[in-house]
Amino acid sequence: MSDSLENPQAKRLRFPPPRGFASHANADATLYAQASTDRLAFWAQQARDLLSWHKPFTRTLDWSQAPVAKWFDDGEINIAYNCLDRHVETGAGDRVAIHWEGEPGDSREITYAELTADVKKAANVLAGLGVGAGDRVAVYLPMIPEAVVTMLAIARLGAVHSVVFGGFSADSLRSRIDDAEAKVVVTADGGWRKGKVFALKPTVDAAIEEDGGAASVTNVLVVRRGENEVAWKEGRDIWWHDAMAAAETEHVAQGFPAEQPLFILYTSGTTGTPKGILHTSGGYLTQAAYTHKNVFDIKPETDVYWCTADVGWITGHTYVVYGPLANGATQLMFEGTPDAPHPGRWWELIEKYKVSILYTAPTAIRSFMKLGTAIPEKYDLSSIRLLGSVGEPINPAAWIWYRDVIGGGKAPIVDTWWQTETGAIMVSPLPGVTTLKPGSAQTPLPGIQIDILDDDGNHLEQGDAGLLVITEPWPSMLRGIWGNEERYKSAYWEKFGDKYFAGDGARIDDDGDLWLLGRVDDVMNVSGHRLSTAEIESALVSNNIVAEAAVVGAADETTGQAVVAFVILKSEFANDIEPADASATLRKHVADHIGAIARPAKIYIVAELPKTRSGKIMRRLLRDVAEGRPIGDTTTLTDPAVLSIIDAQVH
């Protein structure tokens, strides 16, 4: 095994399913045959087998209002009932739903019976604050069990959650609260990260109180976690523990239409404004449960499953909350980061909880890889039987390292391609069925249909790189962008009419396996998180010293891409501010405006930017500069000399 991040041989290796694995796997090859015989009947079967319906559906798909799909739409379902009560009713009440580990090392064990009881009370608390079906509730919490309880309580009422990742700034939080007109915000005083408390409540206060924002919010429910001092607004702010202690314990889950909105989750697009991706109930939960069962081969009685994503991202929604709980799985939930208080924390947790299935991101794997094998080798990882990867392409060398060092040289790896918009996994090997190929996400799951097209919409032959499209509607597809139907149509459907344009480049090889080639639009992927160049540029130009800014995603060994900005200062400041000071000020400015995840790794202060005659910034060329590559074709620039000046300034 090579220690380097590159390993050209790895790409050619093949791993057939281990025999012992295949004979016990949830999935088998007949799924593909069933789905291709009658795709809609296949999905209807999954919806009936995996979920409990308050009222059975008779219609599977209504695509007459395309591109807004309706799945199972005459059926009624309660999402929380499916994740909770039914497991208790069928005798699994004592099964652990969540082994929770706090960052400081405190822990809690929550059974399905206990989680159900908490969600019932929380639903009563929210209902008491006036939250009813269709109302929006913003959730701004650390990775604590109350995040799961809150999401399920909202779902139980037929209300809509909008979870905002705890790393986002007050501005980002406010614009999301405003866009969804959230009635209530659920937050915590603070959470734990790297041995310290980070405050959350003050950010909520700032989001609500400054500039007359967030006028829709009537109450803020506050979980005590960090025990940090917080300001309090009587009448508006309510302690979670007080409300829960006073809450009624019984709450009967009522059925809601299958197309009842379940959540809005904001993600970056190609413009400066994030998109509120809307997901609904029955179809979403069907595909969440189906993929969680078959891709992760989950055995609820014996497995301990761990998805390391934060609930603030789609991976946390589908594979921390809805998929595993719908399937009655036992999972680990962890508040902290991989490297605190020591770089073996994750492996220590796997040993402690006997985690058998681990789902994480390539960026994490690559950072562990850099630290070497000695750290994981100190722990007993023999419980691991399956590994998953998500967020960006996993390079073959990292794939091999993951399998050898974490998976004991035997655990299958599922490289899962999907998006916030797709709601659940779309392309992935099936463990026990697929012969694995490092670096490739391989094949669409049974029930999913994809194609690779050229820019004009022509189907491409195997081997040619093109644009990934999804050719048939799927149950967990987004139903739109909150409050902006036009943007939904233009972002995903305008390019190819009846096919969903994912925004990713891809190629299908001679075996029919899919290789993802990264985004083809102005969207960056940093540590598996989606960031928009336009959003960061607009944050930069909102600073008074900036005249113009261009942002690119430059290749980075660990994070996949890193945010690199090229900034022209206003002439009145250009001579007075040291470039290093300007760069530091602006990095902080972006973090304050959007959130720490968007903070540029590098900001270059330059005199000019490369533009075409029509005034468009040539980001492709700036990427060449940022990556230290020979600069590509500059013939369309107004002034080709600009680039050599920038290059000289930067290197």
Among residue numbers 375 through 394, which ones bind ligand WT7 (CB under 6 A)?
390-393
> Rule CB under 6 A: is residue 419 a binding residue for ligand WT7?
yes
Out of 439, 528, 553, 595, which residue is the one contacting ligand WT7 (CB under 6 A)?
528
Binding span for ligand WT7 by CB under 6 A among 243-251, 320-328, 338-346, 415-423:
415-423
- Within 237-276, the residues that bind ligand WT7 by CB under 6 A are 267
Is 416 near ligand WT7 (CB under 6 A)?
yes
Q: Which of residues 561-620 bind ligand WT7 (CB under 6 A)?
A: none
Q: Which of 516, 582, 605, 621 binds ligand WT7 (CB under 6 A)?
A: 516
Task: Give the separation between CA 565 and CA 403, rounded to whole angstroms.
Answer: 36
Considering only residues 314 to 353 of the shown chain, the ones binding ligand WT7 according to CB under 6 A are 314-315
Q: Is 415 in the site for ligand WT7 (CB under 6 A)?
A: yes
- Cis peptide before 67, with omega less than 30 degrees from 0? yes
Distance from chain centroid for Cα 137:
19
How many residues does the structure list for the chain?
Answer: 651
437: tokens are 């190929």
Helices (H), 226-301: 240-246, 282-295
**363, 420, 434, 443: residue in contact with ligand WT7 (rule CB under 6 A):** 420
- Please answer whether residues 528 and 361 qualify as being in contact, where contact means their C-beta atoms are separated by less than 8 angstroms: yes
Minimum separation from the CB atom of position 398 to ligand WT7 (A): 12
Torsion angle, alpha carbons of 250, 251, 252, 254, to 10: 180
525 lies in the binding site for ligand WT7 (CB under 6 A): yes
Cβ proximity to ligand WT7: between 476 and 583 the closer is 476
Size of the site for ligand WT7 (CB under 6 A): 22
- Check binding of 171 to ligand WT7 (CB under 6 A): no
CA–CA separation, 415 vs 394, rounded Å? Answer: 7
How far apart CA 466 and CA 164 sit, in angstroms, is: 33
Site string for ligand WT7, 432-451 (x = CB under 6 A): ---------x----------
CB of 476 to ligand WT7, least distance (A): 11
The reply to whether 169 sits near ligand WT7 by the rule CB under 6 A is no
Instruction: Please report which helix (H) or strand (E) contains residue 571, including its range.
Output: helix 571-574
- Name the nearest CA neighbour of 11 among 592, 515, 506: 515
Taking the least distance from each CB to ligand WT7, the nearer of 390 and 569 is 390
* 291 near ligand WT7, judged by CB under 6 A: no
- Cβ atoms of 368 and 376 closer than 8 Å: yes
Q: How far is the CB of 359 from ligand WT7 (least distance, A)?
A: 10
As measured in angstroms, the least distance from the Cβ of 381 to ligand WT7 is 23
Rounded to the nearest whole angstrom, what is the least distance from the CB of residue 544 to ligand WT7 in the complex? 31
Is 200 a binding residue for ligand WT7 by CB under 6 A? The answer is no
Distance CA 638, CA 640 (A): 6
Supply the minimum distance, in Å, between the C-beta of residue 536 and ligand WT7: 15
Beta strands in 225-271 (DSSP E): 237-239, 256-257, 261-267
Calculate the CA 605 to chain-centre distance: 32
Residue 155 to residue 160: CA distance in whole angstroms: 7
User: Mind giving me the DSSP string for 167-190?
Assistant: TB-HHHHHHHHHHHT-SEEEEESE
Residue 363 engages ligand WT7 in binding (rule: CB under 6 A): no
Q: Work out which of 193, 279, 479, 530 binds ligand WT7, going by CB under 6 A.
A: 530
Q: How far apart are CA 511 and CA 519, in angstroms?
A: 23
Query: Tokens in use for 1?
Result: 């095994």
Nearest to 187 by CA among 199, 175, 176: 199
Indicate the residue among 189 and 415 with the shorter CB distance to ligand WT7: 415
Cβ closest to ligand WT7, residue 258 vs residue 386? 386
Residue 502 touching ligand WT7 (CB under 6 A): yes
Q: Amino acid identity of 267?
A: T
Q: Is 513 in the site for ligand WT7 (CB under 6 A)?
A: no
Q: Which residues here bind ligand WT7, judged by CB under 6 A?
A: 267, 314-315, 390-393, 415-420, 441, 502-504, 516, 519, 525, 528, 530
